[in-house]
Amino acid sequence: MTDAEVVCRELGCGKAVEALSNAPFGPGSGPIWMDDVACSGSESTLKDCRSRGWGVSGGCSHYEDAGVRCSETLNYGRPGLVAGSHLCSGRLEMYFGGRWGSLCDAAFDQQDAEVVCRELDCGAPVQVLGAAAFDKGDAQMWTQEIQCRGNESHIQRCPSSNSHKTNCTHENDVGLICSGYTDLRLVNGPDICSGRVELQFLNEWGTVCDACWDMRAASVLCRQLNCGIAVSVVGSEWFGEGSGEIWADVFLVGSGGDCAGRLEVFHNGSWGTVCDDSWDIKDAHVVCRQLQCGVALSNQPVPAWFGPGSGPIWLDEVECEGNETSLWSCSSPGWGKHDCQHKEDVGVVCSEFKEIRLTEGCEGNLEVFYNGSWGNVCWNKMDRDTASLICQELNCGRSGSEPSYSDGLKPRNWFDNLNCRRHDSNLWQCPSSAWGQNDCDNDEVAKITCSGSD
């Protein structure tokens, strides 16, 4: 029971009720890491307890896997996302005791979001949204604060505690946008690190047009697959044509990100542009919604010039009501009917467009562009691994200095408590506080020097 006490305390699950043997919750798989565990009861983690040593077992099988039952009662059930533009976005509600309830945005963070997206087969979290971004719910507000570590398979496995955010109302309902794709792979190549790119969206595999793919995207994929760095991007003639859905038929190019750029659409086997005649904010909203990029920014400074396109101009005089889920639901004169030149190509900047920079090239204060403006990033919890990932994203070398703090140059602090893990392949996968929520003053802004600045 002493060993079980350490486990329950480490997980924040109260006191041990039962120490169980002989795989009471079913046998596991993979290595058996510990055997003959002997805790004194004062340890803060199970790893601190005596045992035979890592991976050293006395002939154990998985039918002897240990189990623990803790006193903490989980008082919430399955999650759901409602009022979003697709199954993997919306207001987060939890079902328990025969009814649904909303969660407070101040009691929900990136680690909790990772578990919800994973449980719903919706990939990784793209953004945690507060202030009832998906409208106010009409169910009760849960008073429990979920405290996931981020690696749990189900929200029910996360500990919880009574929330101190007692003044929460439905104005504070939390919303969540998940990536929607749950897996990725390279197929039809000579090994697992080369081949045709395929993504799985909601249990259906599909391909990605080569016009939608560049070295930056390829480098991210290679890191996610533990395949090193990208060497080249090649077309369908190398690894053959796929089958199923082609996931990208609307694309924003020219910004280095997915949520801003020149609008291009795929039709009749080729990519082309859209003319800006009659184009307005309602049309742009539909594009941003279709790309899961938030809302279109109006009268905001554009951080990049996207330039004229080439090839066909596919659409002109597009007229959307603004509530459509796809550009294809909007009216226009028809494919290829226009009186435009490429200098009139439409560009769109969505609220989810994110960009990072250091104020002096490869050193200086860390700043993030989001929702139409640049803001500071707070220094709290940032470590050298986080700094190194930032430097790699900026092509400023492989490593960064231990972050220090400095005076911020922008009036807004965009986020805080940024702390990347070794398996994160880009900054937006790293746990942090929600956008705009921080506990730092303007003299606690992160400052980094990259190895590439020498």
- Using DSSP's 3-state secondary structure scheme, residue 6 falls into helix
The residues, ordered by sequence, that sit 6+ positions from 63 with a Cβ below 8 Å of its Cβ are: 22, 23, 27
DSSP string, 315-366: E-S-B--S--SSGGGSB-S-TT-----GGGB-EEEBTT--EEEETTBSEEEE
Give the CATH number of domain 354-451. Answer: 3.10.250.10
The residues, ordered by sequence, that sit 6+ positions from 101 with a Cβ below 8 Å of its Cβ are: 93, 94, 95, 137, 139, 140, 141, 142
Model confidence at 117, in pLDDT bands (50, 70, 90)? confident
- When pLDDT is averaged across residues 273-291 and rounded to a whole number, the result is 87
**Which of 21-25, 41-45, 149-153, 222-226 is the least confident region?**
222-226
- When pLDDT is averaged across residues 25-54 and rounded to a whole number, the result is 84
**β-strand 260-267 against 347-349: which pairing, if any?**
antiparallel
The residues, ordered by sequence, that sit 6+ positions from 254 with a Cβ below 8 Å of its Cβ are: 261, 262, 304, 305, 306, 307, 347
pLDDT of 444-454, one tens digit each? 888 999 886 55
C-alpha closest to that of 155 among 91, 74, 61: 74
Q: For residue 87, is pLDDT > 70?
A: no
Model confidence at 212, in pLDDT bands (50, 70, 90)? low
Question: In CATH, what class is 250-349?
Answer: alpha beta
- Which of 2.60.40.10, 3.10.250.10, 1.10.3720.10, 1.10.1270.20 is the CATH number of 76-178? 3.10.250.10
**Which of 55-69, 196-210, 329-343 is the least confident region?**
196-210
Mean pLDDT of the chain: 80
The percent of residues above 90 in pLDDT, for the chain, comes to 4
Question: In CATH, what class is 181-225?
Answer: alpha beta
Burial of 410 from C-beta contacts in 10 A (0-12 / 13-18 / 19+):
middle
Q: For residue 48, is pLDDT > 80?
A: yes
pTM summary value: 0.47
3-state percent breakdown (helix, strand, coil) of the chain, nearest 5: 20, 30, 55
- When pLDDT is averaged across residues 171-194 and rounded to a whole number, the result is 82
Q: Note whether 49 and 43 are within 8 A (CB).
A: yes
- When pLDDT is averaged across residues 167-173 and rounded to a whole number, the result is 83
Model confidence at 224, in pLDDT bands (50, 70, 90)? low
Q: Which tokens is 261 given? A: 């750029």
Which superfamily, per CATH, for 1-72? SRCR-like domain (3.10.250.10)
The type of residue at 51 is S
Residues of the chain with CATH 3.10.250.10: 1-72, 76-178, 181-225, 250-349, 354-451
Q: Note whether 286 and 348 are within 8 A (CB).
A: no
pLDDT of 368-411, one tens digit each? 888 778 888 888 888 888 888 888 888 888 888 888 888 877 77
289, containing H or E segment: helix 281-290
